Amino acid sequence: MKRTFAACLAGMSMMLATTQILAQAFPVRPVRILVPFPPGGPTDQIGRILAQKLQDTWGQSVMVDNRPGGGGQIGAAQLKQAPADGHTLFIGDMGALAVNATLYAELSYDATRDFQPVTLLMSAPLMVLVPAASSVNSVAELIARGTAPGAKLNFASQGIGSGGHLAGEMLRTQSGANLNHVPYKGGAPAMQDLIGGQVDLFFEVIGAALPQARAGKLKMLAVATPRRIAVAPDIPTTAEAGFPRLTMSPWFGIVARAGVPEATLRKLHGDITAVLAMPDVVKRLTDVGFDPIPGSPEQFAAFMREETERWGAVVKSSGARVD
């Protein structure tokens, strides 16, 4: 029995040592970053920035794997099924990592139980957008049109549970306008249909909206913040338009599979936050209104819990539900 016990201890020690070595050497093979939206949107943009910079840092292949659909569930399911070794990561927005917990009657994952927060990445204010060809030039005109007898305005969103979806529901309940939700599998296809006039309005983060507005392809009616923002100082706020409670700055964060080794988690956190601090990355993000907001894994975990509770109350009050 003593020999057996000693052998077990030796085996456990070897396993622990091997785990520590692998964590310290991370990554030992290509890394995959899951993005639950199609190419071209803000989540995809930050994913590709991280992939390139981390590949340079690690000397190991880092690829973006776009898995759109299901309000983030398709991509999240891929992470849930992956080994807990840090080689598969997931960039989620506030919908996938907070809102979905209340919005969906049945959800294929539990963000707080199945995932390990690594760090917040960035946030950006939402803009109220209409096509360039629209005759609407202000939020007041938009609401007037949406409350006219027999009127109906179709608003696009990045998907069910996204920031754009919640903003539309908030505007509908606060204004009484007849707004019909048209969900897409990400911001890029929604933006194309807005530009083409297939939908009447769209709520999207400024980082995706500003280049299109500068190109004359759409109009920015308002920014959903208490105060005007530096990159678009001429755009009024939703508060100025009469809707002070309609404020929203969707956020994005990166998570690993729950159970990832502590040393691997710390390396992921350190290397990713180092990328977010690089001057060229900071400039690239802030020039279009994104705000890098990295923090510790513990801070991100607490933030996710708070946001799940906060937006859960909004979802319940709006009556939005996916069965």
Same-domain pairing of 113 and 45? yes
H helices then E strands: how many in the chain? 13, 11
DSSP state of 72: G
For residues 128 and 120, what is the distance between their CA atoms, to the nearest angstrom?
A: 24
Domains identified in the chain, total number: 2
**Burial tier of 174 (Cβ tally within 10 Å: 0-12, 13-18, 19+):** middle
Question: Is residue 35 assigned to a domain?
Answer: yes
For residue 24, what is the DSSP state? H
Residue 245 contacts residue 287 (beta carbons within 8 Å):
no
CATH number at residue 166: 3.40.190.10
The residue ranges of DSSP E strands in the chain, in sequence order, are 31-35, 62-66, 88-93, 115-123, 126-131, 153-157, 179-183, 201-205, 218-223, 251-257, 291-292
In a domain, 37, yes or no: yes
Range of the domain at 269: 30-123+250-318
The contacts of residue 317 (CB under 8 Å, 6+ apart) are: 173
Strand 31-35 and strand 62-66: the pairing is parallel
Residues 214 and 137 reside in one and the same domain? yes
Measure the CA angle with vertex 149, ends 148 and 150; round to 5°. 110
Rounded Cα–Cα distance for residues 148 and 156 (Å): 20
Same domain, 102 and 140: no
Tokens of residue 197, six digits: 């006039």
- Same domain? For 116 and 174 the reply is no
Q: How confident is the model at residue 5, as a pLDDT?
A: 44
Would you say residue 323 lies in a domain?
no
Same-domain pairing of 151 and 215: yes
Cα R_g (the chain), whole angstroms: 22
> How far from the centroid of its chain's Cα atoms is residue 62's Cα?
20
End of a domain among 223, 258, 273?
Answer: 223
Domain boundary among 188, 223, 258: 223
Angle between helices 163-175 and 297-318 (to 10 degrees): 40
Least Cα distance to 201 among 186, 184, 181 occurs for: 181
The predicted model scores a pTM of 0.84
The answer to whether residues 55 and 29 touch, using CB atoms and an 8 Å cutoff, is no
Q: Are residues 109 and 150 in the same domain?
A: no
User: Residue with structure tokens 């319940």?
Assistant: 316
Of 261, 258, 274, nearest to 23 by C-alpha is 261
Residue 130 falls inside a structural domain? yes
CATH code at 95?
3.40.190.150
Instruction: State whether 48 and 77 are in the same domain.
Output: yes
| 17 located within any domain | no
Taking only the tens of pLDDT, the chain with its 323 residues reads 455 544 544 554 444 444 455 446 899 999 999 999 999 888 999 999 999 999 999 999 999 999 998 889 999 999 999 999 999 999 999 999 999 999 898 899 999 999 999 999 999 999 999 999 999 999 999 999 999 999 999 999 998 888 899 999 999 999 999 999 999 999 999 999 999 999 999 999 998 999 999 999 999 999 999 999 989 999 999 999 999 999 999 999 999 999 999 999 999 999 999 999 999 999 999 988 899 999 999 999 999 999 999 888 888 877 777 87
Q: Are residues 64 and 136 in the same domain?
A: no
Q: What is the pLDDT of residue 70?
A: 87
Q: Is residue 101 part of a domain?
A: yes
Shared domain for 117 and 132, answered yes or no, is: no
Q: How far apart, in Å, do the first and last CA atoms of the chain sit?
A: 56
| Domain assignment present for 289 | yes
Specify the pLDDT at position 24. Answer: 60
| Closest C-alpha among 160, 145, 102, 170 to residue 307 | 102
